[in-house]
Each structure stands twice: as structure tokens, then as C-alpha cells.
Structure 1
């Protein structure tokens, strides 16, 4: 579970960076899923 919080912190930093360089931060999405839900995100 600790890795999820680390990723969330990095995501927040990345959103700030995107905004700073002129990219709309809303284009980036972070979602918490379990391994059982992986089929929802497979293309």
C-alpha cells in the first residue's frame, strides 16, 4: 500500500509540472484499482 501513496505524491508533482509548462493538468488521470480490476483497463 505504501507504493500507492508514493505514486500519488509523484502524480501531484507531475500535475504541477504540466501546468507550469502549459499543458492542461486535467489531461492526466490517476486511478486506484486492484489487480482484480485490471481487465477494465486492458485495451
Structure 2
């Protein structure tokens, strides 16, 4: 998933897909939230 974000997208041809930086940012935020929720579950036990 992270490697797909760093792959060259169809920006030269005008593909209209979201930029890779935005996809990488969303993936990083999702992973950070996932790790935070797992850490909260481990703290409660």
C-alpha cells in the first residue's frame, strides 16, 4: 500500500487521480490511528 503511493502516477498524462503525496498522507494517518488504538487496547489489559 505504501509502495503504491510512491509509484509514479499518471500525472503527466492528466489522469485526474489524487496525487501520491495525498495517498501517502492518508495511509500514514490511518496507520498512526491503528497503532494508537492497538496501544490503547494493550494499556487497558
When the two structures are superposed, what TM-score results if normalisation uses the length of structure 1? 0.47
For the pair shown, which has the larger CA radius of gyration, 1 or 2?
Answer: 2
Under a length normalisation based on structure 2, what TM-score does the superposition of the two structures give?
Answer: 0.45
